[in-house]
Amino acid sequence: MSLVSLFALSAALHLYIGVRTVPALPGATAGGLLALLLVSSAILMPLGLVSRRLLKPPAADTLTWAGLLFMGLFSSLIVLTVLRDVLLLLAAIAQQMGASALSFDGLHSVSAAAVPLLALAITGLGYLNARRTAGVVTVEIPVAGLPAALHGFTIVQISDIHVGPTIRSTYVEGIVEAVNRLNPDLVAITGDLVDGSVAELAGHVAPLERLASREGSFFVTGNHEYYSGAESWMRHLERIGIQVLQNRHVVIEREGARLVLAGVSDYSAGHFDASHRSDPHKALAGAPPDAAFKVLLAHQPRSAAAAAQAGFDLQLSGHTHGGQFLPWNLFVRMQQPFTAGLHAMDQLRIYVSRGTGYWGPPKRFGAPSEITRVRLVPAT
């Protein structure tokens, strides 16, 4: 999209919000403040998206921060404005039918004031939720016939950190410290680690080198790696001690019991590089047939059908962010079979993380970030 088109679209959407809310606000001061907020958002939101075209760091990063903050606010403003219009339409119909004692004028004014107040509150809470270190979610997977050596085997999953303009090394350090406190058997990073090149972000990813576990750290690509130079990132992660599972597996042995950990490239990887086409069958090829449990790391939940056919027992995925903030979590199922949490498909269980970071606006509302602790336990 050209800069002119981007700014025109932003102006039109903000104008809709302004026309529908500003005139209805009580008092000229409130209307003036909202108008100023909307003008600022209409300008800074698109500027933030193209800041790297116009400026160099750190000025570009500051502009990106401002633009993304306003993008988060705008998303709530536009949704609440549409909902308000629907509410007013229903109230008008009800009044025409004589079924409502509501004062249309009172509702008009109160609902107009509610739009910016609720949007600011949601955005503020969403910012705090996004910027905190993700909480730990524990998921127990009952396994029939699980060997005693694998009782309590723990995989800590982190996903969708999106190191980039607003997520830097300090944020990543907090995640590493939280993971290490869990004392896991292994760490799984299920894609969308970065939004930028190795040259730009290697220093901000560096804390991941300090991830500690008994069996090591493992990574599979997400779609955002393919926007950021997947091959370069794969080589870099291997250099800092994180094993990349690109359609392959490793075998973990404990006192004669075997666990297979496999990984596939992102579901869409073949569109970027045919040699990276996601293939769960290839990832499992040559695995010991007597393995007690087979785990697949796959960025997108859409890999589940092929994973079930290949014979995996558990798939760990991310990608969806759980929708990240309302109401977008309601639309994730239009693109993915699962949004968040534990699900089943035939013999395969799929756990979808809501993500450990965030993408775009620093905002999480109704879909908290998570560090997932997956424990294998004997079925009772």
pLDDT, mean of residues 369-379: 97
- Choose the final residue of a domain: 100, 130, 160: 130
pLDDT at 99: 59
Same domain, 25 and 172: no
Q: Which domain holds residue 272?
A: 134-378
Same domain, 141 and 154: yes
List, for residues 189-215, the tens digit of each pLDDT value.
999 999 999 999 999 999 999 999 999
Same domain, 192 and 341: yes
pLDDT at 276: 95
Least confident residue range of 7-16, 129-138, 248-257, 320-329: 320-329
User: pLDDT confidence of 100, banded at 50, 70, 90?
Assistant: low
User: pLDDT confidence of 356, banded at 50, 70, 90?
Assistant: very high
- Choose the final residue of a domain: 130, 154, 183: 130
For residue 218, the domain's CATH number is 3.60.21.10
Q: Percent of the chain at pLDDT above 70?
A: 98
- Choose the final residue of a domain: 112, 130, 148: 130
pLDDT at 106: 78
pTM: 0.93
Rounded Cα–Cα distance for residues 211 and 153 (Å): 17
User: pLDDT confidence of 163, banded at 50, 70, 90?
Assistant: very high
Same domain, 292 and 241: yes
pLDDT, mean of residues 139-165: 96
- The count of domains in the chain is 2
